[in-house]
Amino acid sequence: MIGVVANPSQYAVVKEFFELFKTPWEFYQPESQYDVLLCAWDGVVPKNDAKMLIIYASYRLPSEVENDIEYIPEDSLGRNLLYQESRIPIYGSYVTFANGGSLLVDEESRSAIHLQQSGAGVLVRVGYDLFEEVRTLLTDGQPAANADSPTLELHVGLLRDLILDNGISLVEIPPVPAGYQFIACLTHDVDHPSLRMHKLDRTALGFLYRAFFGSLVRACQGRLSLRDLLRIWMAALKLPLVWFGFAKDPWSQFDDYPRLERGCASSFFVIPFRGDPGSTKQGPAPRLRASAYGAMDIADHIQTLLSTGCEVGVHGIDAWRDRSKGRQELERLQQPTGAQDIGVRMHWLYFDQESPTLLEEAGFAYDSTIGYNETIGYRAGTTQVYKHLQTAQLFELPLHIMDTALFFPCYLDLAPAKARERVQKIIDQAVRWGGCVTVNWHDRSIAPERQWGDFYVELVEEMERRGAWFSTASQVVAWFRKRRSAVFEDESLESGHVRVNAPNGRDDLPDLQVRVHNAQDSQQNTEVAACHPCTQPTAV
């Protein structure tokens, strides 16, 4: 059991951190005995006979010799701590120790951690404020420069390793469904479901320019095959026939995605209202943000998607800044879907710190907006679904990989080989840490002129090969809700007995796992057992 001492202002952050690091813990109780006492507050460290005392603080403590500690201020930009082979970005201030060793160092080889024996136990002093770092990740997010770092998972991993390396066993429910290596969530923002809707407007003219000239440049660069180039040119030449209904609309791909995904259900985010660009905090949004369709224009397609097991959510316009408009957008999607629990992803990823509360009050079941337009990676520093700190129920399914970020010239502008390397790193991190890889492949990205379908198929096949559970967005959120609902009722590892209360969940969700780390084994072997949903506690 971990006892936690923290400032009251950090309680919400502490609770969320330990939902992500699902291991037995509680706020410090004076009469209780703990294996680990974790302190991250401004007061005096309470007396306790814990086997291990871990103190996180980004300033000199009164008991510390000032000359042995160097303070690194918050405005020192671009700072990272290095742990083993991982880079942990630090967003607040931190301190380093003259005799701290090489376990955790900054980029100038100054140690940010100090270990020493303290009576019968061990004292570990970590030179940053763990919970303020977590708060920053879950509220402000990471800059694009640190997008490749699953920073929150690294904070969890460091704490776990410190406990195990100092001879204390640990039990947890990892963010990995039983029988799988990680979760894959395939999603699609439906921005342009029909080329026929665009009659020589900006979108159609842009299509023609990119089809005839942009695709030729890509072919000369080796980024486009001759077959795909000819297919794009043919689609452009047929545009007049498409307008008059004599040729198939090349952007209508609703039937193709289920085939490419080989039966893996995915989630489609649909724009509620036609011709509405929405607003920013400063005024009207750019006119080009408006879509040529609304949900009711593709009601038949929505019914087809639902019949194949796919999910349909809201591709929100103003929900991020206006609860009443958010409610209208939600109700518009409830008409063709008949669903009550509907998620949202904002169009163009508009979002601010007030958005979680507004989306929750509008009635959305979850959000999946937190990601980058310009790159791929971990905006919130995590692979996991998390709850926004200011909401009661609204969960966030973070976005990790987006097609336009990979291939648009104004963003990463990657050739397919380089794009494979980037997404492979994200899959590798998911296999290492668990959690979910959330992919956004826009509805027309497998069609001319983008022709990113082959890459998408390779991505799906690779995640399948690496052991992913494929699920809709709502299924991912439901699985993480189930994990959060599990309660450790007896974690006496010395007796080899672990008891977990795991309430019944949905039938379409995989089981949880209980993972026991035996620190007495020098190899730290891991025992894994399925944690089946039940109405009574489960003993493992």
Rounded mean pLDDT, 26-44:
91
Give me the mean pLDDT over the 68-86 stretch: 82
Residues 129/92, Cβ–Cβ less than 8 Å = yes
Q: Is the pLDDT of residue 507 over 60?
A: yes
Residue 52 has pLDDT above 50, yes or no: yes
Q: Report the pLDDT value the prediction gives residue 540, as an integer from 0 to 100.
A: 41
Residue found under tokens 């959060």: 484
Q: Give the confidence band of 72 by pLDDT, cuts at 50, 70, 90.
A: confident
Q: H-helix or E-strand containing 303?
A: helix 299-307
pLDDT at 494 over 70: no
Strands (E) located in 323-467: 344-346, 366-367, 386-387, 395-396, 401-402, 436-440
Residue 46 has pLDDT above 60, yes or no: yes
Residue 369, pLDDT score: 98
Q: What is the pTM of this model?
A: 0.94
**pLDDT averaged over every residue in the chain:** 91
Question: Would you say 466 and 2 are in contact if contact means Cβ atoms under 8 Å apart?
Answer: no
Q: Look at domain 2-172 and name its CATH class.
A: alpha beta
pLDDT tens digits along 271-283: 999 999 999 989 9
Q: CB atoms < 10 A from the CB of 185, how many? A: 30
With vertex at residue 360, the alpha carbon angle to CA 357 and CA 362, rounded to the nearest 5 degrees, is: 110
How large is the average pLDDT for residues 407-421?
A: 97
Beta strands 121-126 and 104-106: pairing type?
unpaired
Residue 44: other Cβ atoms inside 10 A: 11
| Per-residue pLDDT tens over the stretch 121-179 | 899 999 999 999 999 999 999 999 999 999 999 999 999 999 999 899 999 999 999 99
Which of the four pLDDT bands, split at 50, 70 and 90, describes residue 530? low
| Secondary structure class of 96 (helix, strand, coil) | strand
Q: According to CATH, where is 3.40.50.880 located in the chain?
A: 2-172
Residue 298 has pLDDT above 60, yes or no: yes
DSSP string, 309-334: T-EEEEEESSTTT-HHHHHHHHHHHH
* pLDDT value of residue 520: 60
DSSP string for residues in 270-285? E-SSTT---B-SSSBP
Q: Given a cut of 50, is residue 526 above it in pLDDT?
A: no
Taking 50 as the threshold, does the pLDDT of residue 292 lie above it?
Answer: yes
CATH architecture, range 182-194+251-478: Alpha-Beta Barrel (3.20)
Query: What are the residue ranges of CATH 3.20.20.370 in the chain?
Result: 182-194+251-478
pLDDT band at 531 (very low <50, low <70, confident <90, very high): low
What integer is the mean pLDDT of 77-93?
Answer: 89
Please say if the pLDDT value at position 535 is more than 50.
Answer: no
Distance from C-alpha of 198 to C-alpha of 208, rounded to nearest angstrom: 12
pLDDT tens per residue, range 472-488 = 999 999 999 999 999 98
- pLDDT tens-place string over residues 208-258: 999 999 999 999 999 999 999 999 999 999 999 999 999 999 999 998 998
